[in-house]
Amino acid sequence: MELDRTRPLWRQIAAEIIRRIESGTYSPGSRVPSTLEFGVVNATAAKAIRQVREQGWTRGEVGLGTFVVDPLPSGGGPNS
């Protein structure tokens, strides 16, 4: 992922997660990497993951992680 210094890092991570969901890298039902796997401060990654979840792309399960919703909504994703 190339960084854009004009946009907040958490927004870039959120956009990258969504891009990976749309491309099939993260398929429906699969686990999204933990906040530690993004190589950034935990609060930054957590904010990105929260944004993706609020947009309807993922769901969180306490103690298990964050998972891509299954099935993905039609029409290019949630809220489109």
Q: What is the pLDDT of residues 4-62, one digit of tens each?
A: 788 999 999 999 999 999 999 999 999 998 878 888 999 999 999 999 999 999 999 99
Does residue 75 have a pLDDT over 70?
A: no
Q: Which helix (H) or strand (E) holds 19?
A: helix 9-23
The CA distances from residue 21 to 6, 12, 33, 68, in Å, are 24, 14, 12, 7
pLDDT at 36: 81
Q: List Cβ neighbours of 32 (8 Å cut-off, separation of 6 or more).
A: 17, 26, 49, 52, 58, 65, 66, 67, 68
Query: Was domain 9-68 assigned CATH 1.10.10.10?
Result: yes
